[in-house]
Structure 1
């Protein structure tokens, strides 16, 4: 069966070799809440979708109109089998409850490296920030070097105490990096980005091949597990 949890996912979970992130637009905070509950009902009243699926988490965007989904799969083949057999009936039920959902995109990744939480740190993230870093078409091979530079910077004196952990994913299509960052609170994140830019962070911002950065803020709303 399927159970609901409020525990945030472990982005470093062993076996989660095919992490996916997808985005929906639903329009208003009221529709955000209704969609979260519709997703929960569609899953809880059915058996767990696949032994290949380790967990499924849903986040509400602080913009009041978006949702982010994060699913941890053992393999892409497991996801494709689920799509063929079980996804549509869930989507149909959700769409009946909340008509007009716009399913914007689904991106597939491999987690490359993480800036892990410190030993003994039991804080629960009050804010999840995703930053998508897009690269020029001929710069896919530079993505790992970019992440290495960011992690080197985070390990130095510029590390912010409000940052709990950061997890860097390489898109399988070669176009971008996704940083899933866990922050203590929105206030801590605001303070971090309001500070002066150090030379180390300037190197990150001007890294060769980077086209741009897109950041979004979320709160964890729902976790589903077998």
Structure 2
């Protein structure tokens, strides 16, 4: 079989793909907006010069942080075993080339997940996300089983206040495989739409009503960390 080539895309990933059994997220610190863009180009060029590594990699997307210093990486794999096979045979040569083009990248770690539930895009909604917000929700030690209940509380709150979240296109809740946290990958129409929700009552979480108060004060939640990103480039098999 002839290896497939690699192509770039501006399209955002479909987080609900049923064949994405192992969604992975990682963060790199590169220092400046100029180095952000240089690193995005180095990643894309490095991958385009090589065949697509395996059909088990469904897509690879890179995002630039609004902080001007970081990149978020999201790859969709059929399984963790497929990713481990890639690491053993093909990852290092790509890393070495990128590091030659942009020296001094700080890799802050890789997290492994399973997507649990989503507040999916409404039927007929064709908006392109202008903002992606990655929200990490950390839980107390030993509280891994409480994460799914907390996600249920959030989805019920969203369903109860749809008019207050018109700028929210979708929200995808992932459980970390180490049991420590939840990652919410949220697609927003724009940064102003997201800021409007943060400015509403409720300390940045919902409208301050009873349902959102249960989300905010849920037992075993240690804290929330949110980071804003722009989709920079997607890489897919041609």
Same topology, TM > 0.5:
yes
Match of 2:110 in 1: 106
Between the aligned partners of 2:135 and 2:21, the Cα distance in structure 1 is: 20
* Deviation >6 Å, runs of 4+: none
Q: Which runs of 5+ in 2 are unaligned?
A: 203-207
Between the aligned partners of 1:90 and 1:41, the Cα distance in structure 2 is: 10
Query: Cα distance, 1:51 vs. partner?
Result: 1.4
Match of 1:211 in 2: 222
Give SS of 1:216's match. strand
Match of 1:126 in 2: 130
Between the aligned partners of 1:75 and 1:35, the Cα distance in structure 2 is: 27
Between the aligned partners of 1:14 and 1:140, the Cα distance in structure 2 is: 23
Q: Deviations over 1:197-224 (max 9, x none)?
A: 2222221111000000000000000000
Match of 1:221 in 2: 232
Query: Cα distance, 1:153 vs. partner?
Result: 0.6
Aligned pair count?
226
Q: Which runs of 5+ in 1 are unaligned?
A: none
Query: Cα distance, 1:157 vs. partner?
Result: 2.0
Between the aligned partners of 2:153 and 2:57, the Cα distance in structure 1 is: 32
Residue of 136, 140, 143 corresponding to 1:139:
143
Write the mapping of 1:155-174 to structure 2, written as runs, cut at 5 A. Answer: 155-157=159-161, 159-174=164-179
Write the mapping of 1:180-219 to structure 2, written as runs, cut at 5 A. Answer: 180-197=185-202, 198=208, 199-219=210-230
Match of 2:93 in 1: 89
RMSD: 0.7
TM-score by length of 2: 0.94
TM-score by length of 1: 0.99
